[in-house]
């Protein structure tokens, strides 16, 4: 895995910051505090009235009893009104303080636990229906390129990250089941589910055009073949035996327990590997379906780009491939970016959990009993453990 993949996209950069905080035990240290202050200055939708001055920021008394590890969406809803626009001098000073804190942070050897925690937190704060938060804005600035590159080189060189750039683990695929749901049936031989998804997108595009949705929030901001439900979605097991599909979840519903079931994958299936941004663009170029009017409001907010949008027509993809797998490194590189497909159209990889594979064939089948998992976050690092032991 090339370190540049970790620097290209907002999710990769967020993971690098979180690793620097996690691995250096800097949760209560200068780096965290300075990132938090810069986040408040740069966030287009800050959590509380903020007054910006050349000397820094001023918050109302007792807004926060302590500095949060990272400002998560649930902690960002106190008040949406800025008291004033950020002072450029205050922004520059805050960014310089973050760079200095990065430079003084000693990065230890990479551990699998620290990487998993950083990756999970970066995934959990992904959002494709509103502007980037202040931390993502900060990390995209040119001043942060070199500090983040130092972390990226360390992470990319670690054997603990090798699986991030590996193809689907065909002998280790497990679907997560939440809220007592049953496993999603495999796609039938006629690909009815995928044809229904195509019809849904075409009808929604017509409705959005006729009703002139323009900047409307669509409530369907994803480009993964996840809804209407199309078929099994699985991921591998981590070295500790817990399912990746429990740990790495975008826009989750606060689940604290769930079940997994194994999916048996026969040999010889045609699996498309999304191993980078170019591979995602290739899918969109070869099998495009236009989603301009229905996605415009969401994707314009999150990428700041306006214009035609496309995503893969999954029914067409399934005519050539039995499954599509998103590698973790590709997710970190591509998710949330406006990626050019043609001279006019672009696409966004959104709503696709890292390492997830969507199966478009009836040749796969569920095997074995369900395994129940419970979330444990006692040490501030979320991990999933087998229930009862």
pLDDT at 139 over 60: yes
For residue 29, name the pLDDT band (cuts at 50, 70, 90).
Answer: low
Which residues is 56 bridged to in the sheet?
A: 53
Q: Are 89 and 54 in contact (CB under 8 A)?
A: yes
- Calculate the CA 49 to chain-centre distance: 28
d(CA 57, CA 41) in angstroms, rounded, equals 7
Give the DSSP H/E element, type plus range, for residue 274: strand 271-274
Which of the two residues, 24 and 20, has the higher pLDDT score? 20
Q: Taking CA 117 as the corner, what is the angle to CA 275 and CA 273, rounded to the nearest 5 degrees? A: 10
Number of other CB atoms surrounding residue 99 within 10 Å: 16
- In terms of Cβ atoms closer than 10 Å to its own Cβ (0-12, 13-18, 19+), residue 239 is exposed
Which of the two residues, 229 and 36, has the higher pLDDT score? 36
259-293 pLDDT per residue, tens = 999 999 999 999 999 999 999 999 999 999 999 99
pTM: 0.89
Q: Which of 49-58, 151-160, 251-260, 270-279 has the lowest mean pLDDT?
A: 49-58
d(CA 332, CA 280) in angstroms, rounded, equals 13
pLDDT at 74 over 90: no
- In terms of Cβ atoms closer than 10 Å to its own Cβ (0-12, 13-18, 19+), residue 160 is middle
Q: What per-residue confidence (pLDDT) applies to 61?
A: 44
d(CA 90, CA 96) in angstroms, rounded, equals 10
Distances in Å between the alpha carbon of 166 and those of 95, 116, 331, 343? 35, 16, 12, 31
Average pLDDT of the residues in 303-332: 97
Q: What per-residue confidence (pLDDT) applies to 25?
A: 56
d(CA 137, CA 250) in angstroms, rounded, equals 19
For residue 381, name the pLDDT band (cuts at 50, 70, 90).
Answer: confident
For residue 50, name the pLDDT band (cuts at 50, 70, 90).
Answer: very low
Q: Which residues contact 74 (CB under 8 A, 6 or more apart)?
A: none
Which tokens hold the place of 49?
Answer: 């009235």
Total residue count of the chain as it appears in this document: 389
Q: What per-residue confidence (pLDDT) applies to 229?
A: 77
DSSP designation for 225: T
Q: Are 375 and 253 in contact (CB under 8 A)?
A: no
82-134 pLDDT per residue, tens = 545 778 999 999 999 999 999 888 888 899 999 999 999 999 999 898 899 99
Which tokens hold the place of 231?
Answer: 């078929």
Cis status, amide bond into 228, omega within 30 of 0: yes
End-to-end Cα separation, the chain, in angstroms: 35
Q: Is the dihedral of CA 286, 292, 298, 303 positive or negative?
A: positive
Q: What per-residue confidence (pLDDT) applies to 389?
A: 61
pLDDT at 347 over 80: yes
Which residue is listed with tokens 């636990």?
A: 113
For residue 69, name the pLDDT band (cuts at 50, 70, 90).
Answer: very low
Which residue is listed with tokens 């950020």?
A: 86
DSSP designation for 105: P
d(CA 51, CA 248) in angstroms, rounded, equals 36
Most confident of 29-33, 78-82, 362-366: 362-366
Q: What per-residue confidence (pLDDT) applies to 355?
A: 98
């Amino acid at each position: 895995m090339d370190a540049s993949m970790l620097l290209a996209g907002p999710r990769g950069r967020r993971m690098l910051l979180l690793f620097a905080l996690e691995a250096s035990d800097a949760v209560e240290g200068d780096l965290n505090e300075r990132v938090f202050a810069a986040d408040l200055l740069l966030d287009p939708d800050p959590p509380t009235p903020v007054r910006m001055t050349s000397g820094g920021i001023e918050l109302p008394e007792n807004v926060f009893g302590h500095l949060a590890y990272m400002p998560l969406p649930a902690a960002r809803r106190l008040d949406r009104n800025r008291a004033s626009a950020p002072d450029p001098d205050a922004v520059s000073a805050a960014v310089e303080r973050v760079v200095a804190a990065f430079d003084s942070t000693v990065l230890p050897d990479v551990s699998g636990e620290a990487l998993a925690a950083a990756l999970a937190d970066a995934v959990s704060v992904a959002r494709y229906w509103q502007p980037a938060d202040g931390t993502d804005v900060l990390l995209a600035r040119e001043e942060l390129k070199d500090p983040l590159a130092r972390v990226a080189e360390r992470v990319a060189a670690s054997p603990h990250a090798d699986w991030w750039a590996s193809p689907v683990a065909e002998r280790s695929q497990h679907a997560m089941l939440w809220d007592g749901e049953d496993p999603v049936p495999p796609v039938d031989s006629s690909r009815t589910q995928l044809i229904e998804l195509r019809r849904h997108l075409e009808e929604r595009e017509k409705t959005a055009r006729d009703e002139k949705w323009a900047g409307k929030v669509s409530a369907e901001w994803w480009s993964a073949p996840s809804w209407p439900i199309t078929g099994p979605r699985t991921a591998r097991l981590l070295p500790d035996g817990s399912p990746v599909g429990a740990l790495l979840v975008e826009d989750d519903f606060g689940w604290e327990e769930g079940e997994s079931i194994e999916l048996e994958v026969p040999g010889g299936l045609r699996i498309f590997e999304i191993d980078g941004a170019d591979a995602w663009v290739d899918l969109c170029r070869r099998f495009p379906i236009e989603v301009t009017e229905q996605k415009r409001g969401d994707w314009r907010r999150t990428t700041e780009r306006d214009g035609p949008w496309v995503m893969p027509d999954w029914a067409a993809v399934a005519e050539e491939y039995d499954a599509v797998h998103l590698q973790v490194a590709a997710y970190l590189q591509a998710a949330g970016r406006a990626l050019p497909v043609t001279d006019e159209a672009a696409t966004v990889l959104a709503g696709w959990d890292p390492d997830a594979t969507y199966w478009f064939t009836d040749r796969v089948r569920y095997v074995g009993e369900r395994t129940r998992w419970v979330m444990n976050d006692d040490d501030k690092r979320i991990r999933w453990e087998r229930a009862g032991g």
